[in-house]
Chains A and B, each alone.
Chain A
Amino acid sequence: MWYKLTIPLILCFVMGLLAFVHEFVPHPWSAAFREEMTTWFRIMGGFAMFIGLYALLHLHVSRIRRQQAGWGYSAFVFLGAVLTIGAGVFEEIRAAVHDVPESAFSPFDWLYDYVQVPCQATVFSILAFFMASAAFRTFRARNLGAALLLISAVVVMFGRVPISEEVGRLAGAWDIFPRAADWLMEYPNMAVKRAIYIGISLGAISQSLRVLFGIERSYLGGGS
C-alpha cells in the first residue's frame, strides 16, 4: 500500500536530498535546519534503546518459554536487569524525595563498578591467552606472504615494547627496533589502510545513493 512503502521511500529521498544540499548552502536557514534535525534525531536516539531492550528480553523469554538448552541461564539476564533497573529507579525516587549528597552510597554505581566493569574488562583479556596459543600452533611461514606477515608482526610486537630499546643499546643503536616498527606502521601499513579507506568510502557512497533512491530497502523491516 502506498502509505506503507511509497511515502516512506519518498521521505527518505527528500530528507537525503535536503541533507546533501544543505551542506553547500551557507544561508543561516540551512544551519538552523541542521540544528533542528540533529536535535530531533538526538531525541529519537533515546527511544531506540528500548527496542534493544525489548529484543534482548524477548529472546530470553522465548528461550525460557520453550525450555531450550541452557534456558536456566536466561534467568540470570533478568536477575541482572531487574537488580540494575531497580537500583536505578530507587535512586531516582530517592533523589526526587530528598536531596542526596554526592558521597551517598549508590547501588546503581556499585553494580556497574563491581559486576559490569570486571566482567566486561575480563572477557576481552581472555583473548590474550587464545592469541598466544593460536600463534604458537598455527603461525607458520608457509610461503612468502605468510613470512611477510610473520616478520611484520614480530617487528611491531618487539619494537613497541621498552625491552627493544635495551636490546638495541647492546647492538649500538637503541632506537633501531622502535624505528623499524614505526616505519612499518607509517609506510606500508598506512598505504594499505589508505587504500582500504578509499575503497570502503566509494562503496559507502554507492550504498548511500542506493538507499536514497529506494533500491536498498533492508532498513524498512519486514512486511509489505
Chain B
Amino acid sequence: MSSPPSQAALRRLAVTRRIIYLLVAIAVAVPTLSDLACDFKPSPWAEKVFKKVESLKPGSPILLSFDFDPAAMEELHPMGLALLRHCFKNDLHPILMTHWPSGVGISKQIIEKAAKERGKVSGKDYVFLGFKPGDYNLILNMGESLQGAFDKDFYKQPTQGMPALEGVRSLKDIPLVIDLAAGTAIEMWIAYGRDRFGFDLGAGCTAVITPDLYPFLSSGQLIGVLGGLRGAADYETLLKRPDRATKGMQAQSSTHVLIILLILGANVHYLSRRMGAYAKG
C-alpha cells in the first residue's frame, strides 16, 4: 500500500495546479484582447443546417426552441443570434419558444436584439411564445394545435389570428424546427416531434453533448448539427457576419493547444520514466 503524500508533495501539487490555472487564463485572455483574424472552413453538418434555412421561401415559418439556461449561454447565445439573423435576413417568420423557465430571459434578449437590428415587429414578423411546462406533452400539444398550447405569446398578445402565425395551426405546418439544447431536449424533439409530425429537425447544442447526436445524424433523424462555440462560429462564417463566436476561435485554439501540450508533455515524461525503470531492470 502506497504511503500518503508528504506536505512538500502536497505543496508542489498546489503550486503546479495554480500555475496551470494561470496558463489557462493567459491562453484565453491574450487572444480575447487581440484582434487576430481567424480563417476556417465550416463543418459539413453546419452547412447542412445553413442550407436548409436558406432553402426556405420568404414568409415561411420556422420554429426555434431555445432549451438552455445561462450555464450554456456562452456557446448557444451566439448560435441563436446567428440563426435569428439568418431568419430575419431571409424574411422568414421565426417562432421562438423554450422548455426551460431559466432560458426565457436569454431567449427574450436574443430575439429582441436580432429583431431590433432589422426593425422586425413582434406578432407581425416573429413570435416569442415564451415558456410552458410539460416537456414532451407540450410538443404533442403543439403537434395538434399551436394556438391551443400557447393561446398568448410572451407579450400577452393572442396567438389566434396573429400575422406571424398565418397558415400555422400546428407543428405539421412548420417545415423546419431547430432546437438549441444543453440537455436531452433534442432527443425529445426527435422522438415526440420529428418522428411523429414529419418536419425537418436541425440541432444546435453544447460541445459536451455533440458526440451523442451522431447516431441521429447518421439515421437522418437530424438534418445537421451546430456543435458548441465552433458550430456557432461556423454559422457566423456561412452567414458572412463574424461576431462573438468567430472572435472566440483564437482563444479556443490557443487553449486547446496548451492543454494538448500539457497532456503530451506529461505523457512523454511518464513514458521516459517507465522506459528508464524498465532499462534498469
Contacts and interface: CB of A to CB of B under 8 A. Distances in A.
Contact of A112 (B20, B105, B259): B105
A44 B212 CA distance: 31
B40 A128 contact: no
A139 B266 contact: yes
Interface string B20-52: 110111000000000000111101100000000
Contacts of A189: 211, 214
B133 A49 contact: yes
A182 B258 CA distance: 22
A46 B133 contact: yes
Specify the main secondary structure of chain A where it touches its partner. Answer: helix
B105 A113 contact: yes
B249 A132 contact: no
Nearest to A129: B21
A154 B260 contact: yes
B260 A117 contact: no
A158 interface: yes
A128 B40 CA distance: 24
Nearest to B252: A161
Contact of A116 (B72, B102, B145, B265): B102
Contacts of B109: 113
Nearest to B207: A160
Given A42-B133, A117-B73, A120-B70, A190 B267 contact: no
Given A120-B69, A154-B263, A193 B38 contact: no
A162 B262 contact: no
Contacts of A117: 70, 73, 105-106
Interface string B210-229: 11101101100000000000
Contacts of B140: 34-35, 38
Interface in B82-140: 101-102, 105-106, 109, 132-135, 137-138, 140
A157 B145 CA distance: 44
A132 B141 contact: no
A135 B105 CA distance: 35
B188 interface: no
A25 to B, nearest CB: 14
B148 interface: yes
Contacts of B250: 162
Given A117-B105, A186-B214, A193-B212, A165 B133 contact: no
Given A117-B73, A162-B40, A182-B43, A135 B256 contact: no
A68 interface: no
Interface size, A (range): 35 or more
Contact of B138 (A31, A42, A132): A42
A163 B215 CA distance: 28
A216 interface: no
Contacts of B137: 37-38, 41-42, 45
A35 B40 contact: no
A150 to B, nearest CB: 7
Contact of A42 (B13, B70, B132, B218): B132
Contact of B20 (A136, A175, A182): A136
B144 A140 contact: no
A194 interface: yes
A124 B71 contact: yes
Interface in A138-187: 139-141, 150, 153-154, 157-158, 160-163, 165, 175, 178, 182, 185-186
A65 interface: no
A193 B214 contact: yes
A47 B200 CA distance: 33
- The winner among B73, B215, B254 for most chain A CB atoms within 10 A is B215
A79 interface: no
Contacts of B40: 162, 165
Contacts of A27: none
Nearest to A116: B70
B243 interface: no
A34 B230 CA distance: 40
Given A41-B137, A185-B214, A109 B148 contact: no
B263 A150 contact: yes
A135 B259 contact: yes
Nearest to A45: B133
B215 A35 contact: no
Contacts of A194: 215, 218
Nearest to B254: A163
13 contacts: A39-B141, A112-B105, A113-B109, A117-B73, A121-B71, A141-B270, A141-B271, A157-B259, A160-B256, A161-B256, A163-B254, A194-B215, A197-B215
